[in-house]
C-alpha cells in the first residue's frame, strides 16, 4: 500500500482482516494524509478533515469498522452547525425533521422551494443507500452494471438519468437560481463537499454533499489524532505492517512480482495499491503513467488548495455558542474561497486530547486557487500568509468576538504547507473540482487495466472526503481479494 491516508489505511486494514498480508508505506512521520493532524504546545490540530462522515450504525464508515472488527471510535455526535449568511443565520440540524422546518422557515417555503427540496431529498436518500450498498463507478464491466442496478433498486434506477445534470440546472428548473440566500448556502455546502460551484457540480454528488449532516457527523475525541491512534493500533493488531517516514520512489515489475523501491530498501509485493495523488502515482509507477496522462491533463485545471488557520486559545474565547462548528459566507456576489466562505471547527470543551485543560483547539479553513501561491518569493509568501491568516481570524470573530486575542498557538497552513508536509503536488488537496465531465462514470477508475496495480483515494472515484475514501477502500479491497483468489486457484 502506497500512502497512509484514510483510503490507504482503510484498504490495507480491510485486506489484512480478510487474510492477506499488507504493508503500508507512508512518507510522513505518521499516518493520516489530508485527514491527518499535527501537534503544537499541547494542542492537536486537524489538518484537513475535522469530522468523520457516516460512521453511525449502517453507514459507510461504520461498515469499514465492522469489516475489520474495530469498535467505534469515541467521539461527539455533532447536532449540526450554523450557517452564517450575509443577511441571516441558518441552523443546519442533524435531525432531519428539524432541518426540514428550518430551511423552509429561513430560506423560503414557497411551492417552488418545497418542490426543489423534495427532489434533492429524494436523490440524496437513494444515492446514500446506493453508496452504503457499495455502488461501483465508473462501470468497467457487466458485473459492475449489475451490481449497481441492485444497489440502486427499482426506485433509484430512474434517477440515474440525473448523472450528467448539475445542481444549477435543477435550480433553474425550479425558478430558484436567482435566490441569493438559498444559492449562497448551497454554494458553501457544495464547495466543501465536491469542491465545485453551483453551476458545475454534478447534481447527484451535490445532493449527497448537501445532506451529510443527516448521514451523521462525528468528531473523534482527540480529533483526527484520536481516530488514528486507535485505527493504527487495531491495524497492527491484525498483523498489518506500517513504515512511516518512508517515501515510495519507484514501482517496477509485474503482478505477483512487484518491487517497491523506497529510501529504506526494496519491498516485494504480489499486488500494489497506490493511495497517492494521481500525479504522484504517475511518477512513482511508470506502468500507469501513460494510462493516467489523459486524466491528469483533463483534471489539472480543476485542482485547488486550502488555507487553514490553527489556533490554540483559552476556553473563554469560544464560549457562548451552542454549536462547535460554523460555516460563514461574507458576500453573495463574490466568488467563494480565500475567506469569502469558511468553516470554523472547535474542539469539544471536555476534549483533553485536543487541548490542555481550560483551552480549545480551533481550525478555520477556506479554499484557494493554486496559481496565486506559486512562484512567490519568500518575502511575498510570508506577507500573503500573514494577511490571509489575519483576515480569516477577523472574519471568524462574527462567531467568536474575541477569538485569537490571547492565542497560545497561531499557525497558518497554505498550499505550500500541504506540498511540504503532506507531499501533495503543488499543494493541491481533495482531488479535482467535480463536474459531470470528470466524476462518476468519467472519474479516474480504480483499475487502469494493469494486472496487480490499483488506485484508491481522493484522486479516484468517488473523490474527496472521509466517506468517499471509505467507500473507495471497500471497492478496491474487494477487487484485490478477487485477484488474489484467482491467482491462488491457478496454482
Provide the pLDDT for residue 215.
67
124 in any annotated domain: yes
Residues 458-471 have pLDDT tens digits of 999 999 889 999 99
99 in any annotated domain: no
Provide the pLDDT for residue 57.
85
> Among 131, 30, 48, 125, which residue's Cα sits nearest to residue 458?
48
> Do 444 and 296 belong together in one domain?
yes
Provide the pLDDT for residue 68.
98
Provide the pLDDT for residue 97.
94
**Grid cell for residue 121:** 431529498
98 in any annotated domain: no
**Grid cell for residue 444:** 479516474
1 in any annotated domain: no
> Do 260 and 165 belong together in one domain?
no
Q: Residue 120 belongs to what domain range? A: 107-213
Of 213, 229, 264, the one marking the end of a domain is 213
Q: How open is the CA angle 75-80-84, to the nearest 5 degrees?
A: 135
81 in any annotated domain: no
CATH number at residue 436: 3.50.50.60
> Do 72 and 139 belong together in one domain?
no
Q: How open is the CA angle 2-215-413, to the nearest 5 degrees?
A: 50
Provide the pLDDT for residue 490.
78
pTM: 0.96
> Do 280 and 323 belong together in one domain?
no
Of 373, 399, 427, the one marking the end of a domain is 427
Share above pLDDT 90 across residues of the chain, in percent, rounded to a whole number: 90
> Do 182 and 34 belong together in one domain?
no
> Do 337 and 410 belong together in one domain?
yes
CATH number at residue 393: 3.30.519
CB 46 within 8 A of CB 344: no
> Do 404 and 472 belong together in one domain?
no
CB 13 within 8 A of CB 240: yes
> Do 310 and 381 belong together in one domain?
yes
CA–CA separation, 337 and 340 (whole Å): 5
384 in any annotated domain: yes
82 in any annotated domain: no
> Do 206 and 269 belong together in one domain?
no
> Do 331 and 422 belong together in one domain?
yes
CA–CA separation, 324 and 109 (whole Å): 28
Give bridge partners of residue 312 from the DSSP assignment: 361, 409
- Name the domain count of the chain: 3
235 in any annotated domain: yes
> Do 296 and 312 belong together in one domain?
no
Residues of the chain with pLDDT under 50: none
> Do 58 and 166 belong together in one domain?
no
Of 427, 453, 481, the one marking the end of a domain is 427
Amino acid at each position: 500500500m502506497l500512502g497512509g491516508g484514510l483510503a490507504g489505511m482503510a484498504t490495507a486494514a480491510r485486506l489484512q482482516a480478510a487474510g492477506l498480508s499488507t504493508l503500508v508505506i507512508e512518507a510522513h512521520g505518521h499516518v493520516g494524509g489530508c485527514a491527518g493532524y499535527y501537534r503544537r504546545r499541547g494542542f492537536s490540530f486537524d489538518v484537513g478533515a475535522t469530522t468523520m462522515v457516516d460512521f453511525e450504525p449502517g453507514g459507510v464508515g461504520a461498515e469499514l469498522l465492522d469489516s475489520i472488527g474495530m469498535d467505534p471510535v469515541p467521539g461527539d455526535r455533532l447536532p449540526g452547525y450554523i450557517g452564517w449568511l450575509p443577511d441571516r443565520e441558518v441552523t443546519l440540524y442533524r435531525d432531519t425533521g428539524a432541518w426540514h422546518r428550518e430551511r423552509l422557515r429561513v430560506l423560503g417555503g414557497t411551492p417552488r422551494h418545497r418542490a426543489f427540496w423534495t427532489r434533492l431529498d429524494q436523490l440524496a436518500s437513494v444515492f446514500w443507500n446506493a453508496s452504503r450498498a457499495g455502488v461501483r463507478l465508473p462501470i468497467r464491466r457487466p458485473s459492475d452494471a449489475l451490481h449497481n442496478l441492485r444497489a440502486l433498486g427499482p426506485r433509484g434506477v430512474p434517477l440515474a438519468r440525473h448523472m450528467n445534470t448539475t445542481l444549477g440546472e435543477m435550480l433553474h428548473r425550479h425558478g430558484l437560481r436567482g435566490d441569493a440566500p438559498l444559492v449562497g448556502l448551497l454554494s458553501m455546502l457544495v464547495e466543501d463537499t465536491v469542491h465545485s460551484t453551483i453551476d458545475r457540480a454534478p447534481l447527484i454528488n451535490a445532493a449527497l454533499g448537501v445532506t451529510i449532516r443527516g448521514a451523521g457527523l462525528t468528531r473523534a475525541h482527540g480529533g483526527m489524532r484520536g481516530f488514528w491512534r486507535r485505527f493504527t493500533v487495531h491495524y497492527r493488531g491484525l498483523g498489518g505492517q506500517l513504515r512511516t517516514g518512508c517515501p515510495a520512489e519507484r514501482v517496477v515489475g509485474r503482478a505477483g512480482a512487484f518491487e517497491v523501491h523506497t529510501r529504506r530498501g526494496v519491498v516485494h509485493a504480489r499486488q500494489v495499491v497506490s493511495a497517492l495523488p494521481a500525479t504522484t502515482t504517475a511518477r512513482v509507477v511508470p506502468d500507469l503513467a501513460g494510462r493516467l496522462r489523459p486524466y491528469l491533463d483533463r483534471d489539472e485545471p480543476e485542482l485547488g488548495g486550502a488555507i487553514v488557520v490553527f489556533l490554540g486559545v483559552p476556553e473563554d474565547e469560544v464560549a457562548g455558542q451552542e454549536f462547535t462548528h460554523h460555516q460563514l459566507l461574507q458576500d453573495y456576489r463574490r466568488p467563494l474561497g480565500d475567506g469569502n466562505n469558511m468553516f470554523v471547527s472547535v474542539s469539544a470543551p471536555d476534549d483533553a486530547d485536543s487541548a490542555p485543560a481550560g483551552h480549545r483547539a480551533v481550525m478555520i479553513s477556506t479554499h484557494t486557487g493554486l496559481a496565486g501561491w506559486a512562484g512567490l518569493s519568500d518575502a511575498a509568501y510570508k506577507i500573503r500568509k500573514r494577511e490571509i491568516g489575519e483576515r480569516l481570524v477577523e472574519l471568524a470573530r462574527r462567531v467568536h468576538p474575541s477569538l485569537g486575542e490571547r492565542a497560545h498557538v497561531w499557525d497558518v497552513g497554505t498550499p505550500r504547507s500541504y506540498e511540504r508536509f503532506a507531499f501533495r503536488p503543488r499543494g493541491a488537496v481533495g482531488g479535482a473540482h467535480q463536474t459531470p465531465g470528470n466524476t462518476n462514470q468519467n472519474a479516474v477508475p480504480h483499475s487502469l487495466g494493469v494486472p496487480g496495480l490499483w488506485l484508491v483515494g481522493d484522486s479516484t472515484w468517488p473523490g474527496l472526503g472521509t466517506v468517499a475514501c471509505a467507500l473507495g477502500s471497500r471497492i478496491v479491497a474487494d477487487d484485490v481479494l478477487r485477484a488474489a483468489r484467482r491467482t491462488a486457484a491457478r496454482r
